[in-house]
Amino acid sequence: MISVLSKRRAVSLSKLRCMAEGAERAARQRFKSTDSTDKNPPAGDSLKLVDMVFYGYHGVFPEEKTLGQRFSVDVTVYRDLRAAGASDALGDTSDYGLIYRQVKDVMEGKSYNLLETAAERIASNILDEDRAVAAVQLEIRKPSVPIPGALGASAVSIVRHQRS
C-alpha cells in the first residue's frame, strides 16, 4: 500500500513540477513585456494588512481541493496618504475593510490550482476598485505544502502597478 501511494505521489509531484515550470515560463514572458519599473513597489506611502488568515481550497492535488487548508496573506497598498493625514477622512484613503473583503473573496471563493492565480486576482481587484492606488504588493503563504521535506511554508509574492 505504501509503495502504491509513493508511486502516485511521485507521479503527482512530476506533474506539479511540469505545471510549475510552465507557470514560470509564462511569468518570465509577462515580465519581458512589462516596463522595468513594474517589477518593484514604489517608494513612499503605504497601507498594510498583515497576516490575514483564510481557509481555502487552492492547489493542484485532489486532497487540497477536497480538504482545504489555511493560507496567510499580507497586502501592501501604495498610495499618497497626505490628504488623509490632513483631513482625517476615510474618503481620502483606502478602506482596510474593503481590501480585506477583496482578499477574503478570492481566498475563500473559487478554487485555483496556483497561488499565482489567486495573487493576480487579488491585485487586479484592488487596483480596479481604487484608482488612487499606485501599486499593490502581496504575499500568499501556504503553510501545509504537499512535498516531501521540512519547510515552514511556500509563498508567492507579486507587485502590480496601476495601469493608465
Sheet with strand 154-161: strands edge to edge:
46-56, 69-78, 135-142, 154-161
CA–CA distances in Å: residue 108 to residues 10, 77, 116: 29, 21, 15
The DSSP symbol for 34 reads: S
Among 32, 48, 110, 142, the active-site one is 142
Report how many helices (DSSP H) and strands (DSSP E) the chain contains, helices first: 5, 4
CA 3 to centroid of chain Cα atoms: 35
Known catalytic residue at 142 = yes
Catalytic residues: 142
